[in-house]
Amino acid sequence: MKKRSSTTGLPGEFCGKCLLALVILATAWGCKRGGLIDPSAGLDEDQKAVQNLVYALADSASSLDQFRGMFAKDKAPPSTDMAKYKEFMFYVVGDITITGTTANFTTGIETQVGEAEPVIVEKPWTAVKEADGWKLSDAPLP
């Protein structure tokens, strides 16, 4: 039987986790002087759209239609490669350079196997602006 907190009636383990979470949040708040880092600060709307496209790629790999919708016409990887994209986290490293309807940027591709430290590989990626918004045109994996 779980030990209950005398003040809340909740299990003591739950209250301890809540307290730990509050301490971590307070520490993070104090270290950042009241603010969190905004990865899209200073980006224009097109750059933000490209950045969001990159962040959402791994999640889109759970649906073939969503996954294909992230890519420009005829640029999606084969459906047999879709599962590979679920294994990684993607984020933009450095600047997103937009020239006309083409965006060039470096993507950090992070994977973690078991308890090992994450492995990060950087690859150049490209996106293009189509009628319905920004789409990836070249998104190689390591």
Q: pLDDT-derived band of residue 51, with 50, 70 and 90 as boundaries?
A: very high
Tell me: the pLDDT tens digits for 13-37?
444 444 444 444 444 444 444 456 6
Q: How far is it, in rounded angstroms, from Cα 16 to Cα 122? A: 39
Q: How far is it, in rounded angstroms, from Cα 111 to Cα 114? A: 10
pTM of the predicted protein model? 0.70
Vertex 18, ends 16 and 19: CA angle to 5°? 65
Tokens of 113: 């196997």
Tell me: the pLDDT tens digits for 57-86?
999 999 999 999 999 999 999 989 999 999
pLDDT at 35: 57
